[in-house]
Amino acid sequence: MDDSQFRDAPGPAHSTAYPMANPGYGKRATTTRSTAPPTAEDYAHLPPREAAIAAFIDRLPDGTDMSVKGLARITPYGQCALRTALNALQRAGHLRRGREHLLLPTGARWITRTWFSRAARDDAWWAAFVSGSLPEDGTVTPDPVPDDTPPPTPPAPSPASTRATRSPAYRVLAGLGRRNPAVSLSARDCDALEDLAARWFERGATEEMLVRALTDGLPSDIHHAAGLIRRRLTDKLPPEPEPEPPGPGSEPAHPDRRPLRMLECSECRAPGRPEALTDGKCGPCRGEEPPARRPGALAPERVSAHAAQARAGARAASVVDREPADVPGVRQAAELVDG
């Protein structure tokens, strides 16, 4: 299969045919996925092999394993060729590697991701993407042009349309009288109790469950139907449903939080600021000389060694500077000679 045939070949029908990364990791599209498949024009600026691999990655679902080993299992290319192609896609602006900090229901963690863009992006765009200052679709929506034309006056709603827009809670309350005339409610009663009844639906109750809770086991003598229904709506309110456990690939528990992302060098995988990773590579991997580093503090063991050397030197100097008679042993020998 040549590059053009591989590029145009449809992928497997189900995402399970692809090697998937651990939940939350792997490929991640930078913008809202287009429903149209990639075309030859999307990657015409790339060499044939890189264009074929880019079109194939474009069709992969989010979460696919983007390691060269994983891609080698589903493409006709070897790991060396895939590594070279991925680096070329990174230089062209279609791909970046990095990490993202997510707040999941199970806790916070850093995950490794490979971001892919069908459109070639420059370093400034990737910097804005990492900072979270781009909308999800990657475009800036222009401000709407103000329209000075006054809006047309809407027609008055007909009684039929008003009935059709009633909430399920209101309809249940209004229909209680047909179930049992003893609990017939007026329109004013239904309006007053509608919010209480709506809370039942928010907690997963069905219309039949609500009707049975309000009409089963009624007392034989009912003096105030609205008061009785209000009491039952409050006392028999079902509990709030338990949150569902997060599944594979769960999204963050705080979707409104600005993402915390960092890019990595495609060669050494060292993290760095977007402006320091030109075409996805850090300065040393691009052949630039690293900046001169100021000498740091000495290690504690080196400080101790220098101090010991200084003390030994001081002791030796003090012995040399003494008079011979002041040196222990010399004075005793002199006394024996004099005696």
Say if residue 12's pLDDT is above 50: no
Determine contact, residues 21/65, Cβ cutoff 8 Å.
Answer: yes
Distances (CA, A) of 302 to 86, 318, 330: 46, 25, 37
Range with the lowest mean pLDDT among 73-77, 108-112, 240-244? 240-244
Looking at residue 290, its pLDDT comes to: 62
DSSP 256: T
Top-confidence residue, 229 or 310 = 229
* Mean pLDDT along residues 6-32: 61
Q: Which uninterrupted H or E stretch holds 161?
A: helix 159-164
Distance CA 18, CA 57 (A): 11
Top-confidence residue, 145 or 26 = 26
Give residue 188's pLDDT band: very low, low, confident or very high (50, 70, 90). very high
Give residue 314's pLDDT band: very low, low, confident or very high (50, 70, 90). confident
The pTM assigned to this predicted structure is 0.47
pLDDT in tens, 88-144: 998 999 998 888 877 666 667 777 888 899 999 988 888 888 877 765 555 544 445
From the list 94, 85, 82, 3, the residue with the least C-alpha distance to 40 is 3
Top-confidence residue, 116 or 146 = 116
Say if residue 85's pLDDT is above 90: yes
Say if residue 255's pLDDT is above 70: no
Task: Name residue 62's amino acid.
Answer: D
Distance CA 72, CA 55 (A): 15
Give residue 162's pLDDT band: very low, low, confident or very high (50, 70, 90). very low
Looking at residue 13, its pLDDT comes to: 39
Distance CA 125, CA 131 (A): 10
CB neighbour class for 129 (10 Å; exposed up to 12, middle 13-18, buried from 19)? buried
Sequence spans of domains, the chain: 3-131, 159-235
Task: Name residue 11's amino acid.
Answer: G
Top-confidence residue, 16 or 89 = 89
Looking at residue 337, its pLDDT comes to: 47
Looking at residue 292, its pLDDT comes to: 61
Looking at residue 225, its pLDDT comes to: 92
Range with the lowest mean pLDDT among 23-32, 164-173, 216-225? 23-32
Distances (CA, A) of 30 to 46, 87, 146, 151, 337: 20, 18, 31, 38, 98
Give residue 193's pLDDT band: very low, low, confident or very high (50, 70, 90). very high
* Mean pLDDT along residues 283-289: 77
35 CB-side CA count, 13 A: 0
Q: Going along the chain, which residue ranges are E strands?
A: 26-29, 95-104, 107-116, 260-264, 271-272
DSSP secondary structure string, 168-217? HHHHHHHTHHHH-GGG---HHHHHHHHHHHHHHHHTT--HHHHHHHHHTT
Determine contact, residues 228/213, Cβ cutoff 8 Å.
Answer: no
pLDDT in tens, 194-217: 999 998 888 888 888 899 999 998
Say if residue 160's pLDDT is above 80: no
What's the mean pLDDT when you consider all of the chain? 75
Top-confidence residue, 296 or 43 = 43
* Mean pLDDT along residues 184-193: 93
Q: Which uninterrupted H or E stretch holds 300?
A: helix 300-321
For the record, the structure tokens of 192 come out as 């007053």
Looking at residue 191, its pLDDT comes to: 92
